[in-house]
Structure 1
Amino acid sequence: MSERILDVKNLKIDFHTYAGEVKAIRDVSFHLNKGETLAIVGESGSGKSVTTKSLMGLLANNARVVGGEILFHGKDLLKNTEKEMQDVRGKDIAMIFQDPMTSLDPTMKIGQQIAEPLIKHRGMDKKKAWARALEVLKLVGIKDAEERINNYPHQFSGGQRQRIVIAIALVCNPEILIADEPTTALDVTIQAQILDLMKELQEKIETSIIFITHDLGVVAGMADRVAVMYAGQIVEYGSVDDIFFNPQHPYTWGLLNSMPTLESKSLEAIPGTPPDLLDPPKGDPFAARNPYAMAIDATQQPPFFKVSEGHYAATWLLHPDAPKVTPPEEILRRQAHYRDLLTQKEN
């Protein structure tokens, strides 16, 4: 059994707005094991970033945690003071944000920005911190690092800036790295390089990764386990193989259906829009967009049903009394395609 280093239990977060209380995160639970990658996927507004920012104590001023625990090695981070969280950020838990240009200080040399966490958290003097910053800059693949360590962020390309942000996040060897859509602003070729770099560095420093994305294609190559989020809740949870080979929630089917493959003749968008979380629906939040919805979906929220060991989905379709539903034809085709790829890989 892998060591469990993070345990999020029944997390609830509201946002106070002029219109009322937005129920942004509604009873979210998940865990993270040492050395693994957990992907949190879902549409924009599903609650992915809010959930992970709560781990860092970086919620907006109008946010309020109304319930739950965030246990890091058994200690509840929600009970930490701001000063205690400052000691955690960067040293134990670090974050890569999706826009590297706004993550970097344009007035500081990148060497200073990489060295700063070492001076604060490791107590290094400036000379040693600068030397370590140079090592990490080389590690993330910046060429001519000895010269470029004295450059400013605007002197680098988008892909290079993202590498520098990764260097800042990893310089203290954090136990958990949160990557918030770190490849969104990059072209496909650079995306692949950044993802390969993250996997390589994960093996070298044995960090655990929480990877936030709306792109299931990225998940396939990065994650060990996947949590699918919708309307502030996790609706399906399982290994990457569970989610791709045996998805059970209609929302997961919709996400997979909208992901292009070489064989795709057309893509299908999920109809409708997510519910208004000022007044969340009483039943299944996906019911209004779900072509397989039943009467019970409008009145009762489904519990998690166990599909297999470690695989759960919150849909009434898994109830023993529910009618048997066959996934969309495109999902079945993709499942067959993934199984063929897996068989080829094993052979």
Structure 2
Amino acid sequence: MENKDDILEVRDLKINFNTYAGKIKAIRDVSFDLKKGETLAIVGESGSGKTVTTRSIMGLNASNTEIAGGSIKFNDEEILGKSEKELSKFRGKHIAEIFQDPMTSLDPTMKIGRQIAEPLMIHQNMSKDKAMDKALEMLKLVGITNAKDRLNDYPYQFSGGMRQRIVIAIALITYPEIIIADEPTTALDVTIQAKILKLMKELQDKINTSIIFITHDLGVVAGMADRVAVMYAGKIVEYGTVDEIFYNPKHPYTWGLLSSMPTLDTKSEVLPSIPGTPPDLLEPPVGDAFAARNKYALKIDTIKQPPFFKVSDTHYAATWLLDDRAPKVTPPDEIVKRQKHFKDINMK
């Protein structure tokens, strides 16, 4: 998996939550890479571990969080174990994050020009006047009209879509090597969502930054990502290029996610869904965590966790269905319908 083009390497990451009920094993041996200039999407249901994993990169996990093992390296420099003082210098300068709700990310008492300029003043010791000039340039770049006049406005004076553009401007102002985008368009309507995603891709090309895109929306992934990591119950269960995940998925959980996506052809009032609920990670299952919800589960799924099976040089899936001894199972018919839908998205 390692490559000289990798800017970020996560290896065997284990994260626990210490609670009154006991130790929740939230992240269980997660490994992935991020290459320079690419977009890696991490997808999965709520509670699968997407946000916890990426918050660890930023050193922003809650106080009850315990890093139980593993390594996170940025340009071969270990991030885990850094002090809060070291991390505060690191955040924003090298890695920045775009959060889901811009109103909780922006200071309601501070003018947006100052909020955009502040990272330059902190991380680059830039003068206020010069930083404000750069903030104006970035405000124009993210598509805020009358940018010069709006530098002195407060967050409440902007629409939701405009506030998210401001959050993106703050994240990009220092030209960080990595942007973590945590469900950045979930709170927006579909029209604004499409504009924000297009803007992010355009800005990524301009500054050659890498993006980790966290989402549960596979429709977004189809037009945004280069590679995809599918997470379930604190583990990555499948990863590959975006085409491999959408057009040749191998894990039953990935099949379930794809089948659950509505399309314009969806006529039923009840959307398809994955039956059951994720396991209790206070006591993770002995075998495959998805076995209880998997209609294709084999006996071994309840006994032993599946290893990663190699589908191609870039595509791996942790499912016993890929074992040579397993019965041959094909994806459900719903997958074919979704593949046509995603092909249409990519052609637009």
Contact kept in structure 2, 1:2 and 1:34, CA below 8 Å: no
Shift of 1:87: 1.1
- Take 1:9 and 1:287, find their aligned partners in 2: how far apart are those partners? 25
1:217 to 194, 219, 234: 219
Aligned to 2:239: 237
> Secondary structure of the residue that 2:115 maps to in structure 1?
helix
The structure 1 segments of at least 4 consecutive aligned residues displaced by more than 6 Å after TM superposition are 339-342
262-271 vs 44-53, greater mean Cα deviation: 262-271
Report % sequence identity.
72
Deviates further, 36-45 or 321-330? 321-330
- Partners in 2 of 1:55 and 1:276 — Cα distance? 25
Pair 1:105–1:282, CA change in 2 (3 A) = same
For 1:181 and 1:285, how far apart are their aligned partners in 2?
25
Query: TM-score scaled to structure 2, two decimals?
Result: 0.96
The root-mean-square deviation of aligned C-alpha atoms, in Å, is: 1.4
Give the counterpart letter for 1:285 in structure 2: A
Secondary structure in 1 matching 2:80: helix
Describe the superposition over 1:178-202 as per-residue Cα deviations: whole angstroms up to 9, x where unpaired.
0000001000000000000000000
Distance 1:129 1:333 in 2: 50
Aligned-pair CA distance for 1:340? 8.1
Provide the C-alpha distance between the structure 1 equivalents of 2:164 and 2:147, rounded to a whole number of angstroms: 15
CA distance in 2, matches of 1:58, 1:340: 38
Equivalent of residue 306 in structure 2, options 268, 293, 302: 302
What residue number does 1:227 align with?
229
Give the alignment partner of residue 152 of structure 2, picking from 146, 150, 153: 150
**Alpha-carbon distance in structure 2 between the residues aligned to 1:193 and 1:22:** 38
- 1:326 maps to a residue whose letter is T
Match of 1:85 in 2: 87
The correspondence for 1:275, drawn from 250, 264, 279, is 279
Q: Which amino acid aligns with 1:314?
A: A
User: In 2, Cα distance between the equivalents of 1:299 and 1:325?
Assistant: 20
Corresponding residue number in structure 1 for 2:24:
22
Does 1:322 find its partner at 2:320? no
Unaligned runs of 5+ in 2: none
Rounded Cα–Cα distance in structure 2 between residues aligned with 1:259 and 1:248? 17
Q: For residues 220 and 340 of structure 1, do their structure 2 counterparts lie closer, same or farther at Cα, with a shift above 3 Å needed?
A: closer
Deviation, structure 1 residue 115:
0.7
Q: 2:274 corresponds to which letter in structure 1?
A: I
Q: Supply the distance in 2 between the matched residues of 1:335 and 1:221 (Cα, whole angstroms).
A: 13
Which residue is equivalent to 2:69?
Answer: 67
- Deviation of 1:299 after TM superposition, in Å, equals 1.0
The answer on whether the counterparts of 2:219 and 2:342 sit within 8 Å (CA) in structure 1 is: no
Task: State the Cα distance separating 1:329 from its structure 2 match.
Answer: 1.1
Q: 1:136 aligns with which of 131, 135, 138?
A: 138
Q: Offset of 1:261 from its aligned partner?
A: 1.8
The Cα shift of 1:327 comes to: 1.1
- Give the match for residue 101 of structure 2: 99
Count of residues in correspondence between the two structures: 344
8 Å CA contact 1:304, 1:313 repeated in 2: yes
Q: 2:127 maps to what in 1?
A: 125
**In the alignment, residue 50 of structure 1 is paired with which amino acid?**
V
Residue 289 (str. 1) matches residue 298 (str. 2): no
Q: Can you list the C-alpha shifts for 1:52-75, whole angstroms capped at 9, x where unaligned? A: 000000010000101000010111
SS at match of 1:6: strand
SS in 1 for 2:29: strand
Matched residue of 1:68: which SS? strand
